[in-house]
Structures are given as C-alpha cells and as structure tokens.
Structure 1
Amino acid sequence: MFYKDISVWVALGHGILSFFSPCILPLIPAFLGILFTAKNKLLKLLGFLSGFSIFFTVIGVFSSIFGFFFAKYGSIINYVFGSIIILMGTLYIFQKELLKPRKVNVWKFKGGSFITGFLLGGVIGIIWIPCSSPILGSILAIAASANSLKGAVLLFVYSLGISIPFLTIGSSISKLMTASFKAPRWELTLRIIGGTFLILLGVLIMFGKMVV
C-alpha cells in the first residue's frame, strides 16, 4: 500500500517545504483572491486542484521514464541520485535557485469556469518551480529511481503537500511570515532544517539505507 511507503511521506514533506518558499509566500493572498472571488468557486477550485496536481504528476512520470534508462546501472544509480539530492539540499540552504522566477500575469484567469481554474493551477505550478527548484529537484531524483506509476504518485502527493496548506492556511501564513520587509529569521531556520533534511535523505539513498 502506498500509504505505508516512506517515500510517499517524504514526497508530502517535500511539498510542505515547497509551500514555504520565500519568493512565493507574498503572492499567495493574490492567488487565493483570484481563486475564491469567482462566482463558481467550487467549479474553479476543482479545476485548480486538477491542473496543479496533473502538472506535477506528469513531471513525475517523465522523471521516472528518464530514470528507467539508467536502472541497469544498479547501485551506482543510488550514488548518483543521492548526490543530486545532497546538492539540492546544499543549494536550498544557501538559497540558490536553479531557475530564475518570471513574472506571469495570473489576473487573466479571473473567470469562474473549471477550465479557467485548471489553467490557473498549471500556471501557478509553473510559477512554483523556480521558487522551490532545489526541493523539486530532490523529489524528482527520488521519482526517477521509481517506476512510472510510483513517480506519478510521488509528484501527485508532492502537489498535495503544497496545495493543502495553500488552500487552507495560505493567506494567514503569508501575512504572518511576510510581515517584515527584511528576510525574517524563520526563513533562515527553515532553510537550515529543510536543507539538512534533504542532505540526510541523500546520504541514506546513496548508501542504500532508504529504498524508494
């Protein structure tokens, strides 16, 4: 059962960690405003969840397909993926992004249809990638070592780790944690804890202590 698989919970933890990306937190109230001011809120919300989840699920499938070609190398691949995750953890601690965020006009998705919500979910997923690139890189390395079904499940769970707090406590957390114009202390603490978690995870995978 997937819920007994530790890698599923690791994926959820990656998603929650991605939710706290400093460059995305200030934008959350605007995103929620666009999402919940529509006339058909439920329809748009369902569309958003579908678009956001499918976007990351597809990435998980492609990551697994990519990893499939290297599966023949056996334990060597553990060292490769473990090293990648350690690198991602180090980059996260030092706040180094693999991709630079780009401005996207999300206000064009103010409509209340399922399709509008679906497109909004995909666009917000794209926006989230640069902000959480080291964390996403880590979970993609894990997904790459799994089969396509499991890779899809891991990235779906990752998307839930972002969307659940985003849709429930997102606005309150955003206002609380962006109250200061200077980089708050919580940001550094989160980077150290989250980065250390990724590094330890990479070491465990590298030495075969965690099978994903």
Structure 2
Amino acid sequence: MLALAAATDPNRTVLTGALLLAVPVALLGGLVSFFSPCVLPLVPGYLSYVTGVSGTDLAEARRGRMAAGASLFILGFTAVFVSYGALFGNFGLTLEEHKETISKVLGALTIVMGLAFMGVIGGFTQREFRFHKRPAMGLAGAPLLGVLFGIGWTPCIGPTLAAVNALAFNEASAGRGALLTIAYCLGLGVPFILTAVAFRRALGAFDWVKRHYVWVMRTGGLMLVAVGALLVTGVWDRIIGDLQVWSSTFTPGI
C-alpha cells in the first residue's frame, strides 16, 4: 500500500525515497558513460551520421541541424534506457519482500562492475553488439540509430547503467525507476548536444579527456564501487531513511 501511494502521489515521488540522492548519482553516471573510451571517440561519427553532414564539414554545419540530429538520437536511446529503469523499478515493487537481499546482490554486482570499469578485472565492459543494417543517414534515421545505440552499446556502458538500474530496483517503483534512467540519459545526452552546437571547441576538450582517460575511468569506477558498497552494507537505506525524515518536515520558504 505504501509503495502504491508513493507511485501515485507526485509530491511523495519527488521528495521521498532515494531520489534525492539517487538522481545526482544517475546523472553523474551518464556523464561518466559519455566520457568513457567506448563512447567519446565515436561522438564525431555519430554526429556526422545523425545530421547527414560529413565529418570534415561538422565544424561548419548549421547549429540548428546539429542540435536537432543530436536531440533525435538522444530520444532514441532514452526510450530504451527508460524502459530498462521502469522494468527494474517494477521488479523492485513486485519483489518487495526480498528487496533487501536482492539489493545486496545488485550492490555486489555494482562493485564488480566498478572494478571492471577501472580495468582492475576483465575487459568485457568494452564489448558491444554490432548491427550490420544501419538506418538511413540524416535526421530521419537519427532516432532509430539512438535505439540501436541503446541496445548495442549496453554491454559497453553496462557498469554505469547497471548501477542506475540497481538504484531503480531499490526504489520499488516503475515511475521512479524511469525517472532515474531519465537522469542518466540527461548526463549522457546533454554532452552530445553541447558537442553538436560547439563542435570545434568540444574537440579541444575531448583531447584533454583522452589524455586523462585513466583518471576518468578510475574516478567513474570508484563512484560505482562506492554506490555498490552502500547498497551491500545497508548504509544506502539508512541515508534514505534520514532523507525521508528531513523531506517530510522541510517547508520551503516563500
């Protein structure tokens, strides 16, 4: 009954539960995914494909077209990832009785994913599925390419996405799970749009990130390990309990 109330009451959905803490984590996870070695180097190619502009002409292309192509591409993979979040959130609601145990298992998996993200174990997180048939080049094909990115690149950005889905499960609500993955998609998608509208400047920033890939990956991996450890030890739930008390008594000033 409490879970149903949380899912149907907009104020409760926003102000209680793990969202006050989980949304920033999901947003940061998306940002880390964008700067990962399996996404960042391919950004110019994606922008060229979704806008129909050759790579050599991207810097001179109209900003409106660039932004439109990037936005349509983002909508495509957002549809895929949000469905994942809603699914995990619904599982959390269905398996409420076993949520504590499953959250610990997902937390342990998140720790393993974080270590893999840092390169400490394995190399499977750099793999991806490939589709031999591509959508038409240009704005019309941009959403479909986004969908294919969401499906095909899931193993590649799996560590960060797995952490967000673990938090979605912990929310025990399809709506909240979807909201978390929307935050993740904003973290992953906004840099695409910024790159599209300021392509030449973005290339300089990309060079800096590439030179510091090791620290980018270590920072992202440590974030995932920390989230996993909080879930495994139950500290995450205790923090959420404190946030619930705070949010229930907080009255914004007028």
State yes or no: 1:49 paired with 2:74: yes
Distance of 1:120 and 1:11 partners within structure 2: 23
Partner of 2:161: 136
State yes or no: 1:122 paired with 2:137: no
Of the candidates 213, 216, 220, which is equivalent to residue 190 of structure 1? 216
**Based on CA coordinates, which of the two structures has the bigger radius of gyration?**
2
Partner of 2:176: 150
Of the candidates 92, 103, 108, which is equivalent to residue 78 of structure 1? 103
1:89/1:134 contact within 8 Å kept: yes
State yes or no: 1:162 paired with 2:188: yes
> What SS does structure 2 have at the residue aligned with 1:122?
helix
1:34/1:110 contact within 8 Å kept: yes
Partner of 1:7: 22
1:18/1:162 contact within 8 Å kept: yes
Partner of 1:200: 226
Shift of 1:23: 1.8
Distance of 1:174 and 1:144 partners within structure 2: 37
> Per the alignment, do residues 67 and 98 of structure 1 end up closer, same or farther by CA in structure 2, a change over 3 Å counting?
farther
Partner of 2:250: none
Shift of 1:31: 0.7
Of the candidates 19, 22, 30, which is equivalent to residue 37 of structure 2? 22
1:106/1:123 contact within 8 Å kept: no
RMSD of aligned Cα (Å): 3.0
Give aligned-pair identity as a percent: 28
1:64/1:145 contact within 8 Å kept: yes
TM-score, structure 1 as length reference: 0.82
TM-score, structure 2 as length reference: 0.69
Shift of 1:99: 7.1
Deviates further, 58-67 or 93-102: 93-102
1:78/1:207 contact within 8 Å kept: no
Matching residue's letter, 1:186: H
> What SS does structure 2 have at the residue aligned with 1:129?
coil
2:30/2:186 contact within 8 Å kept: yes
Of the candidates 120, 124, 127, which is equivalent to residue 97 of structure 1? 124
Shift of 1:72: 0.4
> Per the alignment, do residues 203 and 88 of structure 1 end up closer, same or farther by CA in structure 2, a change over 3 Å counting?
same
Shift of 1:100: 2.5
Shift of 1:98: 4.6
Partner of 2:48: 33
2:72/2:139 contact within 8 Å kept: no
1:25/1:174 contact within 8 Å kept: no
1:82/1:205 contact within 8 Å kept: yes
1:126-165 Cα distance to aligned partner (Å, 9 max, x none): 2431221111111111112221101011111111110101
> What SS does structure 1 have at the residue aligned with 2:212?
helix
> Per the alignment, do residues 179 and 76 of structure 1 end up closer, same or farther by CA in structure 2, a change over 3 Å counting?
closer
1:112-135 Cα distance to aligned partner (Å, 9 max, x none): 33xx22212212222431221111
Matching residue's letter, 2:123: K
> What SS does structure 2 have at the residue aligned with 1:59?
helix
Matching residue's letter, 2:109: I
